[in-house]
Chains A and B, each alone.
Chain A
Amino acid sequence: MISALRLPICIVAALFATTAFAIGPEEPFADPVLEAEYQALIHEVRCPMCQNQTIADSTAPIAADLRRELRELMGNGASRDEAARFLVERYGDFVLYRPPFQPTTWALWGAPILLSALGLLVFVRTVRARSAQPLDEELPPS
């Protein structure tokens, strides 16, 4: 992992001075914005070999490999979207927990809007009809 050397890691190196390892917890980017982007991405990437886990949560070796590759990509200037695209090319849409917006997912992403609109319509129509009806004169006490 040559690129790890390219990272601006002076602060990080100081932190881990006593424990230098080949694998294990990663050294965060010095740029907090970049680190946040990276963290957000790995929390939305599905571990391809696990039951149902993000690569951030998974302890499987493949998850560690993917985290390292993504860190490398983003460290080399790839944006979050570009890094995600790299994963999709290798594993398919399956690897993203946030399904991409494309013809096969239009119904999925349209569902919230459609259902809410339908609900609003039902509400308006029902209240309009009911408020035209006579109120019960004698409402029993609870």
Chain B
Amino acid sequence: MIPELGQFALVLALGLALIQASLPLIGAAQGRDEWIALARPMAAGQFVFVAAAFLILTHAFTIDDFSVRYVAMHSNTALPFAYKVAAVWGGHEGSLLLWMLILAGWTLAVAAASRSLPEAYAARVIGVLGIVSVGILSFMLLTSNPFDRLLPAAVDGNDLNPLLQDPAFAIHPPMLYLGYVGFSVPFAFAVAALLTGSLDKRWARWTRPWTLGAWLFQTLGIALGSWWAYYELGWGGWWFWDPVENASFMPWLAGTALIHSLAVTDRRGIFKSWTILLAILAFSLSLLGTFIVRSGLLTSVHAFASDPERGLFILMLLMLITGGALVLYAMRAGRMEAEGGFKLVSREAFLLLNNILLVVATGLVLVGTLYPMVLDAAGYGTVSVGPPYFNTTFSIPMLPLVLLLGLGMHASWLGMRGETLVRKLVPAAIIAVLGGIVLTVVVSRGLDNVLTPIGIIAGLWVVIASFWDPIMRLVRRESRTVPLSRAQWGMIVAHAGVGLFVLGVTVTSAFTIESDQAMAPGDSASIAGFDFEFRGVREVEGPNYDAYEAEVAVRRNGSPVTLLAPQKRVYRVQRNPMTEAAIDPALRRDLFVALGEPLGGNAWSVRIQYRPMLRFVWLGALLMALGGLLAATDRRYRAEQRQAAEVTPGRLVGNTETA
């Protein structure tokens, strides 16, 4: 009976979403205050019912209600409690429910925090979010109902995919979806502005914190996914250019571009139509990602063709939402662009270049991801587009982006003399080049790629250039100058994160040493100055799996470093073997040992890796997210919140800016 209540809650939520998606929008167009006023209550009610459905599904998991098909497919009585909760989003239907819950949550947040916006405009934003809700809720109810019954009920469940039984996995999808779905907010702000017909100069300021919020969650979500893949998939890579990864990476790239173009629109009131287009693009790529992951297209084009119901539904949704927004854009965006000049050497020009390079990068990921699917669907055979393609082509936009970043941060708005800019940063560049050469010599073993020192220097350059202003303030003891704002610190920290990321990627991909060994008890292998002694394998028992656990003692110059215990697990229900790598993490290097197959006798195949500076990859991502948090919580946005809205959007607002 309780699961039926969950389904009923979803139906009610759909009903409220239908009202939210229609009456406030019509009300805003016709000036009917009582319809405009419906937006917030509908958003709140929708959140309550979606949350209720989510709790009911979670409850079904925690009490092992195997009469619910979805629970029977993704859980088991022996599954540890925490994973029963995480199993709610371990499959298709529950993932969508989580997607929907997060959409309802963002909508509620917008409803609560939009009091300072003009009423009609806020109603339009919430109305547009309502349209997305209607799409996702009807998709769930028509094709992917998580509350479908299984009769007769299963005696025990099919268990959660062992790959997903992991703490990082438990929080990875919620983080990622907070980002993915969060881009619906700037999208709704953009479409609402298009509906209004013109763009208030404050529009960018309203949109910025929301975009930063979505972006920082997306950053964390992608980093968590990469970390999880590193230690859970068992072969030590951290990014595979897999279509699932690309699906989350594309909206991130477009979102990064959006953050930067919003800065120009906020500050100068120009690039308006471009910013709006990016907001549409970022969310459309989120929907495209959902389509790629959820349609079955990934397994193969043929799996999609044999069961096209779900895929076609999302494709239609994607075309309706994106197509509708683009038609509106084509009709309205033309008259929005404002005049405003800038010189070749100016903050604006650098940010323009940032946007172009990021969009080119997005385009490359898009082409590489979709190409095999399109080619196959068109009957021209199958190809695989993998790391060799992406690594080669991606550096074309990325290397200039990273090198120019250090300059762009220090360029003045409107324009400045190029000479002034260069002279300011010559010391930073010299330090980066010298430091890069030293670091290359220290970490290198047989350098064979000219891109390696360039990458190292580029990474250092970005870190140093990011912190150049605060460093110079310290050096010159300038205490009387205005302190850096939180937004400025956010920019510094996030960009330093980019530098650390580049450094980590370059060093770890150039100098990783991996070796597959056959080891019997007592055997030793020496890699990168570390001695790995294989002491044997014993059987251990987990709550829902059996495992072989190896003991590998690591020494350096005779003194012990660590004791690693990689496992080979077989989960009792699904029976597929899983590799649990053992890792000794450190900022300077990771030591990674994975247990392979038994080779007869007492011997096992063992994969050993030495990965220098791998942690910098995730440290960089963390700093980017932290920078986003600092920028999103800057005082000027909160001041904006308190400021009552007196001017309706539609009139061009003059200099009403507060500091």
Contact = CB atoms under 8 A, between A and B. Distances in A.
Interface string A19-58: 1011111100000000000000000101000001110011
Nearest to B596: A59
Interface residues of B, number: 64
Contacts of A107: 367, 371
Interface in B378-418: 380-389, 393, 396-397, 413-415
A138 interface: yes
Interface string A81-111: 0000000000011111111100011011001
A10 interface: no
Nearest to A112: B393
B599 interface: yes
A107 B385 CA distance: 13
Interface stretch (B37-45, B235-243, B458-466, B615-623): B235-243
B363 A104 contact: no
Given A24-B599, A52-B240, A116-B360, A16 B383 contact: no
B469 interface: no
Given A57-B235, A97-B385, A140 B339 contact: no
Contacts of B386: 44, 46, 54, 97-98
Contacts of B481: none
B518 A108 contact: no
B424 interface: no
Contacts of A105: 371, 383
Contacts of A93: 381-384
Contact of A142 (B364, B485, B518): B485
Interface residues of A, number: 53
Contacts of A5: none
A141 B659 contact: yes
Interface string B484-514: 0101000000000000000000000000000
A21 B383 contact: no
Determine the main DSSP class of A at the interface with B: loop
B552 interface: no
A2 interface: no
Contacts of A142: 267, 485, 487, 659
A136 B268 contact: yes
Contact of B359 (A95, A99, A119): A119
A108 B268 CA distance: 37
A104 to B, nearest CB: 5
Given A24-B599, A44-B388, A127-B352, A104 B380 contact: yes
Contacts, number: 155
Given A19-B519, A115-B364, A140 B385 contact: no
A141 B659 CA distance: 7
Interface stretch (B130-138, B181-189, B342-350): B342-350
Contact of A123 (B353, B363, B518, B579): B353
Interface string A58-70: 1100000000000
A96 B310 CA distance: 30
A101 to B, nearest CB: 11
B222 to A, nearest CB: 17
Contacts of B360: 112, 115-116, 118-119
A59 B414 contact: no
B422 interface: no
B383 A134 contact: no
Nearest to B448: A36
Contacts of A23: 599
Contacts of B22: none
A21 B357 contact: no
Residue with the highest number of chain B CB atoms closer than 10 Å, among A53, A93, A99: A99
B341 A135 contact: yes
Contact of A140 (B389, B393, B485, B655): B655
A119 to B, nearest CB: 4
B599 A104 contact: no
Contacts of A52: 240, 242-243
Contacts of A122: 356
Nearest to B388: A98
B375 interface: yes
A130 B267 contact: no
Given A24-B599, A141-B659, A133 B339 contact: yes
Given A52-B240, A130-B340, A133-B340, A116 B396 contact: yes
What 8 A-B pairs come out closest when comparing CB atoms? A97-B386, A133-B341, A98-B388, A57-B235, A25-B516, A119-B356, A112-B393, A94-B382
16 contacts: A16-B518, A19-B523, A19-B603, A24-B597, A44-B386, A52-B240, A96-B383, A120-B356, A123-B353, A127-B352, A131-B415, A133-B340, A135-B340, A136-B268, A139-B267, A142-B487
Interface of A: 16, 18-19, 21-26, 44, 46, 52-54, 57-59, 92-100, 104-105, 107-108, 111-112, 115-116, 118-120, 122-123, 126-127, 130-136, 138-142
Interface of B: 234-235, 237, 240, 242-243, 267-268, 270, 339-344, 348-349, 352-353, 356-357, 359-360, 363-364, 367-368, 371, 375, 380-389, 393, 396-397, 413-415, 485, 487, 516-520, 523, 579, 596-597, 599-601, 603, 605, 655, 657, 659
